[in-house]
Amino acid sequence: MTTGRIAAAALIAATLALATGAWSDEPPKPARIVVNDSGGAMGSWMRKAYFDPFEKLYGIPVVETSPTDFGKLRAMVESGNVEWTVTEIGGQDAVRAAKMGLVEKIDDSIVDRSKFPKEKHSPSYFSASVYSTVLGYRKDAFKDGHPTSWAEFWDVKRFPGPRSMRNHPVDNLEFALLADGVAPDQLYPIDMDRAFKKLDEIKSAVTVWWTTGAQPAQLLLDKEVVLATGWNGRFFDLILKDAPIDIEWGQGALKSGTFVIPKGAKDAYWGQKFLAFLTDAKAEAIYANALAYPGLNPDSLQYVDAKVLPYLPTEPTNLKRQFWISDEWWAENGTAAQERWNQWLLKK
């Protein structure tokens, strides 16, 4: 073979190698990856928005399991028998898992979070979606306007009527402090004495301490309460059906649905690629249009239906009026706060 032909053959080989990834550091595609999530309606939309498109893009089947389980994650990692490639996990548990060495680091060279809020750049867990605990209200209950802050939610004279709040200290301690005049950027560390003292003032007006996500919106719909705390997606579901309820975004408590890669996960590289796909703007919009729980890529908002956009916590006007819950504080103090909450709730 002449020198020219050798050079041409080498060029063709190089081109094919680049096209197929043969010379890259990308490991072989696995027979499947396993994604553990919370299941239910969210799991169904994870399939439509993310799992199916990922399979088409990479040719790797995504096997879905549920539910989320911190204990199982820990057992898998400690035994060295990790079944999940990626798993959803609560924000507080994600902090705990990272501190316990149960998760892989997020590879920022693969997972692009450059457009995410600074609060959501954890080295160990990925924020896939956003939801908010907000103030829901009946539109026909207040002639002169609904409450627009937690101080006004606490004002039972100006805004009379029964309320509903979650039977849990998360959110309620923050809301109590906001009602007492604490600035959103000064909430942490939480002054529990002050928060519970403020909660004493609203306790008698709370007729239902809700325990499931569907309750607060239904309580408003049934006229059992006029005001309720609740998750934005649950209110959104009924608002789209023309229910006489609406959302106040002011001082809403932002949280994120999080995913991690278990330490020692098989095919962890493809777990990183899956997390990277969760930032896809069009995929995020599909999920947000269905559930009103958007991702954190702001580019996705351009693909969201116009009727849905006002009900997203990441819509720019809504976002700037809210605050991020501190998963770090709750991971450290959640047990003590829960014990105190249980005692407080029983107190006459």
Per-residue confidence (pLDDT) for residue 24, from 0 to 100: 55
User: Could you give the residue range(s) of every CATH 3.40.190.10 domain in the chain?
Assistant: 29-130+256-319, 135-251+320-346
User: Is the bond into 244 cis (omega within 30 degrees of 0)?
Assistant: no
Q: Give dist(CA 217, CA 247) in Å, integer.
A: 10
Q: Would you give per-residue pLDDT tens digits along the chain (348 residues)?
A: 444 444 444 433 433 343 334 345 789 999 999 999 999 888 899 999 999 999 999 999 999 999 999 999 999 999 999 999 999 999 999 999 999 999 999 999 999 999 999 999 999 999 999 999 999 999 999 989 999 999 999 999 999 999 999 999 999 999 999 999 999 999 999 999 999 999 999 999 999 999 999 999 999 999 999 999 999 999 999 999 999 999 999 999 999 999 999 999 999 999 999 999 999 999 999 999 999 999 999 999 999 999 999 999 999 999 999 999 999 999 999 999 999 999 999 997
- DSSP letter string, 64-97: EE----HHHHHHHHHHT----SEEEE-HHHHHHH
- Token look-up 């996990």 returns 89
- Inter-axis angle of helices 172-179 and 192-202, nearest 10: 80
Radius of gyration (C-alpha) of the chain in whole angstroms: 23
Per-residue confidence (pLDDT) for residue 55, from 0 to 100: 98
CATH 3.40.190.10 fits 135-251+320-346, yes or no: yes
- The type of residue at 229 is T
Beta-bridge partners for 304? none
Tens-digit pLDDT profile for residues 23-37: 457 899 999 999 999
**Residues near 119 by beta carbon (within 8 Å), at least 6 away in sequence:** 324
156, two tokens: 């039972």
CATH topology of domain 29-130+256-319: D-Maltodextrin-Binding Protein; domain 2 (3.40.190)
Per-residue confidence (pLDDT) for residue 348, from 0 to 100: 78
User: How far is C-alpha 310 from the chain's CA centre?
Assistant: 18
Per-residue confidence (pLDDT) for residue 41, from 0 to 100: 87
pTM value is: 0.90
CA-nearest of 154, 103, 158 to 126 is 103
- Which pairing describes strands 86-89 and 33-36: parallel, antiparallel, or unpaired? parallel
